[in-house]
């Protein structure tokens, strides 16, 4: 009986520990970035990623030396025209929204990000009925997404460090 109790105790501790490490919380003051495709057709998904890449590159050059969320927020708000100028040449219908926007839940590299309304920059292309792409713009977790060689464990470690740096 003692062996069973000890085994169950160890099992519970390990299970709780694994679940805790997978639940990295994005700070409430984080700013997210989301691009929603017109549809799930291949050309719409490609366009979504092309726009995402161009806007993300521009935003990161603007936010490169930012130290806090207020500074990031002001830079984003003051440069929404640059985001507009990136998308305008495509000649498509789109909407740019900066504020409190809905995000679906996401599991990425072993971390669950909860659904909810978050401060964010959202670009909706056309009818916005396609799959979306999103990440955390500040603190700059989007940059970690670009590092495909990161294992889940390394991603979790880097994400935790980055989030704690900007708390």
Separation of alpha carbons 113 and 23, rounded Å:
8
Q: HSE on the CB side for 99, CA within 13 Å?
A: 3
- Report the SS3 class of residue 165: helix
Note whether 133 and 35 are within 8 A (CB): yes
Q: Span 145-167, mean pLDDT?
A: 53
Q: Span 30-58, mean pLDDT?
A: 96
Q: How far apart are the first and last CA of the chain?
A: 46
Spatial neighbors of 92 by CB under 8 A, at least 6 apart, are: 38, 47, 125, 126
Quickly state the pLDDT bin for 105 (edges 50, 70, 90): confident
- pLDDT at residue 47, as a whole number: 98
Rg (CA), the chain: 19
Q: Span 89-109, mean pLDDT?
A: 91
CA dist list (Å): 80 to 34, 77, 128: 14, 6, 19
Kindly report the average pLDDT of the chain as a whole number: 80
């Amino acid at each position: 009986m003692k062996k069973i109790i000890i085994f169950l105790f160890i099992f519970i501790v390990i299970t709780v520990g694994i679940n805790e490490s997978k639940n990295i919380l994005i700070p409430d003051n984080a700013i997210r970035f989301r691009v929603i495709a017109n549809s799930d057709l291949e050309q719409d998904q490609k366009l979504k990623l092309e726009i995402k890449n161009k806007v993300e590159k521009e935003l990161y050059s603007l936010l490169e030396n930012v130290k806090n969320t207020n500074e990031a927020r002001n830079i984003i708000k003051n440069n929404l025209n640059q985001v507009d100028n990136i998308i305008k040449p495509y000649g498509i219908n789109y909407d740019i929204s900066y504020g409190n926007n809905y995000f679906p839940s996401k599991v990425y590299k072993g971390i669950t990000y909860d659904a909810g309304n978050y401060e964010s920059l959202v670009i909706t292309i056309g009818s916005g009925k396609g799959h979306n792409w999103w990440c955390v713009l500040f603190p700059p977790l989007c940059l970690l997404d670009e590092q495909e060689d990161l294992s889940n464990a390394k991603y979790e470690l880097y994400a935790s460090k980055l989030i704690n740096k900007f708390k």
